[in-house]
Structure 1
Amino acid sequence: MPFAVYALGLAVFAQGTSEFMLSGLLSDIATDLHVSIPAAGLLTSAFAVGMIVGAPLTALFSRNWPRRRALVFFLCVFCAVHVVGALTPGYGLLLATRVVGALANAGFWSVALVTAVSLAGPGARARATSVVVGGVTLACVAGVPAGALLGGHWGWRAAFWAVALVSVPAVLVIARSVPAGRPESEPELVPVRAELRALAAPRPLLTLLTMALVQGATFCAFSYVEPLATRVTGLDPAWVPGLLALFGAGSFLGVTAAGRFADSRPVAFTLGGLVALVAGWAAFAPASGNTYATVASVLVMGMLAFGTGTALISWVFRLAPGAPTLAGSFATAAFNVGAALGPWLGGLAIDAGLGFRAPLWVSALLTALALGPALRVMARARAGAGAGANAGAPAA
């Protein structure tokens, strides 16, 4: 695997830490800036919306740029807004920095996924994707708890400074390791309309839908781990950071497994992951009153969710070879649609009086719904591979 792919993973680690670290800093931010906790929570929502809107827009904005220039530009903007956020005296400016930071993050993700897949080659799409997505899982394991620790000792601004500092070496490494131009093996830039037509074809579109549903299930459950653990399982709140880190560790194992097996057996790996997710979420709900079952489920479900999600990202590139610059942005947008949709649906279930197990049942339902479009995609992929009719379709 080219060293530049690991440099992209380092940058994604910093960005993933920024995206999720506010969950442990909301009370501190609300007190310091004299706003309510729900208002502070909007900082997370603003970031998610910025990612959804920003992924395709920033990809279009930078599609004519050399990839190294685009990556360095987006990462420098991301770093700068965290410096501004750490210094800001007011809530309004901090909210603006979260939106701008999300746009820069979305732009970086869009280019980084395409760059990683291009550098790794057709035979290692899933492995390259796993390295980049692995940065997010490492952020869950180490970055988010570290941000909470910094915030607890030196205030929430220290966490913002830390994200900016981690971004600096990533900028330097990417500037030195990512090739300046487009690889010679790639064709000339495809017109935007042609890329959009490629992504609007049935199989890529169904894959994006599957991604959004699977990520919706993941974030629906992940967002309510704290009340589930403390009010249903009966754990002490001191256990919660450990559970979140355990979910991140499982996620890292999942993306690692996807990197090893999703290229050689994409259909079996992806469908197996989806079926296991439906069964896992459905089993977790009734078993969540037991401490051992909760701890084991958090680890296993993190592994299944991110392993399957990583495989689905690689499917977008397999099925839309005619969208070399926009495939990554649409995959990023689908990921974040799920990240925004899942917590909202889980919250509706809790508000309806269904209890704190309800998000797990919602996750099981969302994943079951994802099986429909996924089965159509995989069936067509098998048929295409068997007939040799579609060079972009993977073999099982």
Structure 2
Amino acid sequence: MAGLLPGIATTFAVSASAAGQTVTIFTACYAIAAPIFGALTAGRPVRRVLGAALVLFTLANTLSAVATSFPLLLLSRAAAGVGAGLYGPSAFSAAASMVSEKRRGRALGLVVGGLALGTAVGVPCGLVVAGDFGWRSAMWLIVALGGIALAGVVSRMPEIAASTPPSLRQRVAVLVDPRVAATIAVSLLTSGASIGLYTFVAPLLRANGGITATLPYLWIWSLGGVLGIYFCGALIDATGRPEWMMSVVQVVMVAVFGTLGSALPYRAAALALFGIWGAAAWSSQAPQQHRLLTLHPDKASIVVALQSSAHYLGSAAGAALGGLALAAGIRLTQLPLLSAALVAVALSGQLGIAVWAKSDQVRSRPVQS
């Protein structure tokens, strides 16, 4: 929805801050629905759960496309978030259940890759469609894709017994670990700062740089993200220091957000910063997942789900905070500085985690006589 906000604001005669809440409500409902429905649908036929999720998701996006009022649009985005949250856990469970244990990592990677590719390609492509035919046409494109996915699940999905996802009690038990809680908190703040700002990128470009053609900036952000995922993973494997890698990513974010406002009027500088921003934003997930999996290797599905929920809750909180800041009188051009401040807070926590991890490593070393 990030690239569609100006059109939505114009259609319903609302402010940019209000239009941004279409992102807030979707991501919040996704983050809340994913763990709840993951537990409630345990043991249910996977094909039926996935089909029901896609039916809800497709119908909700249809309602978004035909919404005649802004409250109705918000309601439809909430329903779409619930549908996506219902789909997510079942998709991971299905992927793990359809292959042997040796191929499980690759299968889960394909699902994660689908989510990443959807962001990288979906946002710019939706903006292309919206630019030619209006924002509602982008919603109809999502409806069509949802229908194709539903047809594929119904006609091709085998009847399988999915592995039982972790219960809510098991998730909470892991979150009680202070090391996990600290990592999740840093993820939430970092995602809130980055995705919260990304929500308002279209009106920000218009306000600060007079830029109406936002597509190149979204493409370069996505390209940077793809490169960031690859190189960050390689660096983590090479160094074995995910905690410090996350700190480096956050330092880069602070630098980008601190200079973005003044750089937007200069096209080359702005495009470069968008590429670096995308690389940093997408790189922030891998170190956190690595840290959590190291802490609880026997509870991989739980910590991965917690990190995902933290990302989406942070995104929702960031979009909401950005909207509240604009409503309170903060200018669009000041939003990057607000994001820089949030990342700085997260960075202070991350440095503490890095020191904590170093201390754990020292204590775990065998004593030599």
The one-letter code sitting in structure 1 at the alignment partner of 2:8 is: L
**Counterparts in 2 of 1:313 and 1:100: CA distance versus 1, 3 Å:** farther
- TM-superposed CA distance for 1:333, in Å, is 2.7
Shift of residue 314, structure 1, vs aligned partner: 4.6
Aligned positions of 1:120-269 closer than 5 A: 132=111, 134-171=113-150, 176=156, 180-182=160-162, 192-232=168-208, 234-238=209-213, 240-263=214-237, 265=240, 266-269=242-245
CA deviation after TM superposition for structure 1 residue 123, in Å: 11
Shift of 1:368: 1.8
Aligned to 1:54: 33
Structure 1 residues 40 and 235: alpha-carbon distance in aligned structure 2, compared to 1, 3 A threshold: closer
Counterpart code for 1:74: A
CA gap 1:55/1:95 in 2 versus in 1, 3 angstroms = same
Measured in 2, the distance between the counterparts of 1:345 and 1:138 equals 27
Distance (Å, rounded) in 2 between the aligned partners of 1:223 and 1:47: 12
Mapping of residues 288-327 of structure 1, within 5 Å: 288-321=264-297, 323=299, 326-327=302-303
SS of corresponding position for 2:59: helix
Q: Any idea what the Cα deviations from partners look like across 1:49-84, whole Å, max 9, x if unmatched?
A: 322332332222223446565444423431233244
2:88 matched to which residue of 1? Answer: 109
SS in 2 for 1:181: coil
Indicate the RMSD between aligned Cα atoms, in angstroms.
3.9
Identity in percent: 25
Q: Tell me how far apart the structure 2 counterparts of residues 268 and 135 of structure 1 sit (CA, whole Å).
A: 28
Q: TM-score, normalised by structure 1?
A: 0.73
Q: 2 CA distance for matches of 1:106 and 1:170? A: 16
Q: Distance in 1 between matches of 2:229 and 2:44?
A: 29
Q: Match of 2:284, SS?
A: helix
Letter in 2 for 1:336: Y
Q: Count how many residue pairs are aligned between Structure 1 and Structure 2.
A: 360
Q: Please give the secondary structure, in 2, of the residue aligned with 1:362.
A: helix
State which drifts further: 153-162 or 111-120.
Answer: 111-120
Moved more, 353-362 or 205-214: 353-362
Please say if residues 190 and 322 of structure 1, whose CA atoms lie closer than 8 Å, have aligned partners that are also in contact. Answer: no
CA offsets, 1:106-140, max 9 Å, x none? 23234445666897979997x87775555455445
How far the C-alpha of 1:102 sits from its partner, in A, is: 0.4
Deviation (angstroms), 1:211: 0.9
Q: 1:41-80 counterparts in 2 under 5 A?
A: 42-65=21-44, 70-80=49-59
Contact 2:43 2:161 in 1 (8 A): no
Deviations along 1:8-43, one digit per CA (max 9) or x if unpaired, are xxxxxxxxxxx546425405652xxxx646766543
Identify if the C-alpha distance between structure 1 residues 195 and 139 changes in structure 2 by more than 3 Å, giving closer, same or farther: closer
- Helix, strand or coil for the counterpart of 1:237? coil
Mapped partners of 2:194, 2:52: distance in 1: 31
Q: Give the Cα–Cα distance (whole angstroms) in 1 for the partners of residues 297 and 277 of structure 2.
A: 31
Is 1:358 aligned to residue 340 of structure 2?
Answer: no
TM-score by length of 2: 0.78
Structure 1 Cα separation of the partners of residues 186 and 110 of structure 2: 21
8 Å contact 1:84–1:97 — kept in the other structure?
Answer: yes
- Could you tell me how far apart the structure 1 residues matched to 2:255 and 2:172 are? 35
CA offsets, 1:164-193, max 9 Å, x none? 22234444666757893346xxxx765542
